[in-house]
Structure 1
Amino acid sequence: MTEVVVGMGSNIEPERHVRAALGQLAERFGALDVSPIYTCPAVGFSGADFVNLVVAFETDEPIETVQAGLREIEAAGGRDRAGRDGSRTMDLDMLLFGDRVFDNGDIRVPRADILEYAFVLRPLAEIRPHARHPGNGRSYRELWAAFDRSGQPLTEISLD
């Protein structure tokens, strides 16, 4: 079994879409380890604040099949992949696939977002503090402690 870590985000009816996507992930992959949930401003475009979290699960499926499954869940939630930047009903990004370093032009793990965005690194550091980044070997706790948080505000929320 391989542990997969996925970043999840939504800024269109996020409570509804996050709950639905979590249900679909659990139905397809089984038990989920879910991080705390955060809101943050949209990055790279003007739009409503995003709700972001990180989810981990184990699978015996190949990386391409997992990626296809994530895209199916996005599509079921109404995700329009036509534009790269813009509001989203659901964004599911594979961050890690075990400790693999993989790039086929479509799937890239570890995903660069881990080292670039607070809304990815903080929840990852919370659910996997001692795990190590496959590229640089540092723990996610260490990476978060050294991360420049200026300009990337996060507010923890609950969907209850």
Structure 2
Amino acid sequence: MSPGCTAHIGLGANLGDAPATLRSALRAVAALPGSHLLAVSSLYRSAPVDAAGPDFHNAVVALHTPLAPAALLAALQAIEQDFGRQRPYRHAPRTLDLDLLLCGDAVLQTPALTLPHPRLHLRAFVLQPLLEIAPGLAAPGLGPLADHLDATADQPLQRLGPLDLPPTMSA
């Protein structure tokens, strides 16, 4: 495989037809230059955290990419914009949310990007789908992510089944 990193990306939406949006966003993420889709979690439903609005649909993907973390973040934000993402206020309902959770073992803290994602181990809607596709995954500064599951046990999360891959793709 080419140089780069294995990125783990959280996908979420709670406006419009969220499952359809996530399937389309999956296509867009998989089409990033030089990137290869490695795994896709099931689709999950969760209540908004620290916000009001409809339930979220969430998934996590693993993607091998040659893009550096900042370039990958910019590409993910461009995809969000293509799907009509607006940021009127923190935790606003959204048509699409793409969060860069991990990029290999990268540790970064810039105004635009923190890796590992600072809340990935605190949110069941991120942690459970992430561990579904990478059960033994550890993150810099956090250790084995499975060790954090108990802390999210009180967060309701419903597994809905596979996030269907587009017909021309396979994980």
Query: What's the TM-score, normalizing by structure 2?
Result: 0.86
Give the unaligned 5+ runs of structure 1.
Answer: none
What amino acid is the match of 1:129? P
Q: Quick one: distance in 2 between partners of 1:112 and 1:64?
A: 16
Equivalent AA in structure 1 for residue 142 of structure 2? N
**Equivalent of 1:21, from 17, 25, 38?**
25
Q: Which residue of 2 aligns with 1:10?
A: 13
Point out the more displaced range, 30-39 or 17-26: 30-39
Task: Describe the superposition over 1:29-56 as per-residue Cα deviations: whole angstroms up to 9, x where unpaired.
Answer: 3324111111011111211000011111
Offset of 1:143 from its aligned partner? 2.5
Q: Measure, in 2, the Cα distance between the counterparts of 1:7 and 1:128.
A: 13
**Contact 1:10–1:91 at 8 Å: present in 2 too?**
yes
* 2:148 paired residue number: 143
Partner of 1:58: 64
Residue of structure 1 equivalent to 2:160: 157
Give the aligned CA root-mean-square deviation in angstroms: 1.4
Count of aligned residue pairs for this structure pair: 157
Q: Return 5+ residue gaps in structure 2 as ranges.
A: 165-171
Q: Which has the higher strand share?
A: 2
Which secondary structure does the structure 2 equivalent of 1:72 belong to?
helix
1:97-147: CA deviation from partner (whole Å, max 9, x where unpaired): 11111011110010122121110111111111112121132x222322x33
The aligned residue for residue 31 of structure 1 is 37
Change (3 A) 1:88 1:32: farther
Deviation at 1:5, TM superposition (A): 0.6
Identity %: 36
Matched AA of 2:156: P
Whole-Å separation in 1 of the counterparts to 2:92 and 2:76: 19
Matched, 1:113 2:119: yes
Q: Provide the C-alpha distance between the structure 1 equivalents of 2:107 and 2:131, rounded to a whole number of angstroms.
A: 19
Q: Which moved more, 1:49-58 or 1:23-32?
A: 23-32
Give the corresponding residue for 1:77: 83
Structure 2 SS opposite 1:53? strand
1:148 & 1:80 partners in 2: Cα distance? 28
Instruction: Tell which deviates more after alignment, 27-36 or 94-103.
Output: 27-36
Rounded to whole Å, the distance in 2 between the matches of 1:47 and 1:66 is: 28
